[in-house]
Chain A
Amino acid sequence: MSDGMERRRKHPTRRHVILGGCAVAVAGLGIGANSAWSANRKPVLVAAAANLRPVMPALLAAMGEAGVGPVRISFGASGNLARQIAQGAPFEVFMSADRARVSFVAEHRRIEAQAVYARGRLAWVSAAGLGADRETADLAALVAATGDGRVAIGNPEHAPYGIAARAALQSANVWSAIEPRLVFAENVAQAAQFALTGNAAAAITSLSLARTPELRARLASVTIAEALHPPIEQEIALLAGASDAARAVYAFIVSPAAARIFAEAGYAVPSPAKPAKPTKPSKS
């Protein structure tokens, strides 16, 4: 037994060598990351609704010019992001796709400021010719043009644009006619994808998505009149304890300069950006 003990002490086992190597590697990585960290400013962590993906490059470029940032963005479904933030995820700014998710966060974490930064617009997209790019309230004609094909919308149970799409179809009195032919996508991007692959004859997606080069190249689009549905108010929240850099990001997103970028990307812009309001948890 003592013989074995001795042998073990004399000869470092392979496991020791591997462990030692790992420790050195981890230490090295730590030092490397640390120096990279201090060389730059610490980026502001922003949680952003997935529908903001197409507009974000322009926003980031403008932020860079204005000396705001740097920013690190996590895209996701607003509901998932809200849940993560409520559980203490280290985001400082939350750009939601609606107001209900911000209310949910406010129930769990203190919010320093909040405002509606953009209103989402719905677009009807289809591979079939829709005529000139225009705004319309005549959903009946669009529905009729799909024949007996499927129509994709965001899930009306939870996706903000899906809720608005259902409301629009209902106020145009075509909901019951189209309901058996509807398929529910997880979000507007998947709804658009169903139309892009040709499995759905048409989809109701966000105007911001319909304006991306990828969709424009293959799908025609028509903007749906905003009067047909409750406004899709996208709210931003600055979480309590945010850094000065995060405050600057928040201030930029609600600024007129950002509003111009949002308008160009297919959002309606709140006039003027609403100041902070006390949040009342509201059921949507």
Chain B
Amino acid sequence: MPVDATLTSLWLAGLTALILVPFGVWAGRALATAQFAGKGFVETLVLLPLILPPTVLGYYLLVAFAPANPVGQAINTVFGGSLAFSFEGILIASLIANVPFAVQPIQRSFEAIPDTVREAAWVSGLNGWQTLWRIELPLAWPGIVTAAALVMAHTLGEFGVILMVGGNIPGETQTLSIAIYDRLQAFKTAEAGLISAVLLVASLAALAIVQTTAATGRTPRPRP
């Protein structure tokens, strides 16, 4: 059982969710409530990682990380080294690949909150932050939990992007799904099966969390 790969995958999934969910709340709420020029364009941009084949996304990241170009040089000065073949590199890849999974569910759940609820909160004397914290977030909670679970499950199963930018270094960039692929290529079917079972259990747990939270967190929606 590759402990390194399991830890790498769990770290990657946890950090990706930890960074993306707050971003999803900010971006999802903005897309749900604000009207601005180019909103359709931004929404398309959010969905783009779903459409791009992971290998394409990975290849572009690899080109961006290359020390020869200005972007790569800027990254080198900021991070003190190249991002290709590093954990930080696959984290960035995973963040980009998961944006739609974080933003979409949260945006939809904020959209389901009628404006009148917000207005009622303001009339009752709550300021913007209090409205967000005490009214909107509880109402949007199922969407936020869904986003977190989707991001984690998707990151655990992510393969193409990691394969492209990771360089398969044990303890650094070798994730569970890469480890499974390696074992299969080396005809170690039993080992591959074992790791797959671990991945399956982890993913099922993530999905179970979604199901139960979505069921218990369902709140009666006030009618406008």
Contacts and interface: CB of A to CB of B under 8 A. Distances in A.
Contact of B168 (A79, A83, A104, A185): A185
Interface string A196-233: 01110000000000000000000000000000000000
A79 B184 contact: yes
A150 interface: yes
B163 interface: yes
A183 B168 CA distance: 6
Contact of A158 (B63, B84, B182): B182
Contacts of A155: 168, 182, 185
Contacts of A158: 182, 185-187
Interface in B172-193: 182, 184-187
Contact of B167 (A77, A79, A80, A152): A152
Contact of B169 (A80, A159, A183, A194): A183
A185 B67 contact: no
Interface of B is mostly: loop
Q: Which has the most chain A C-beta neighbours within 10 Å: B65, B68, B84?
A: B84
B185 A199 contact: no
A79 B63 CA distance: 28
A197 B63 contact: yes
B168 A197 contact: no
A175 interface: no
B66 interface: yes
B182 A183 contact: no
A215 to B, nearest CB: 16
A157 interface: yes
Contacts of A186: 163, 168
Interface string A173-197: 0000000000111100000011001
B187 A104 contact: yes
B211 interface: no
Nearest to A199: B84
A152 B85 CA distance: 10
Of the listed residues A158, A186, A197, the one surrounded by the most CB atoms of chain B closer than 10 A to its CB is A197
Contacts of B184: 79, 83
Interface in A111-144: none
Contacts of B84: 150, 194, 199
Contact of A150 (B72, B163, B167, B182): B167
B186 A197 contact: no
A49 to B, nearest CB: 13
Given A150-B167, A183-B168, A198 B185 contact: no
B187 A157 contact: no
Interface of A: 77, 79-80, 83, 104, 150, 152, 155, 157-159, 183-186, 193-194, 197-199
6 contacts: A79-B184, A155-B182, A159-B185, A186-B168, A194-B84, A198-B72
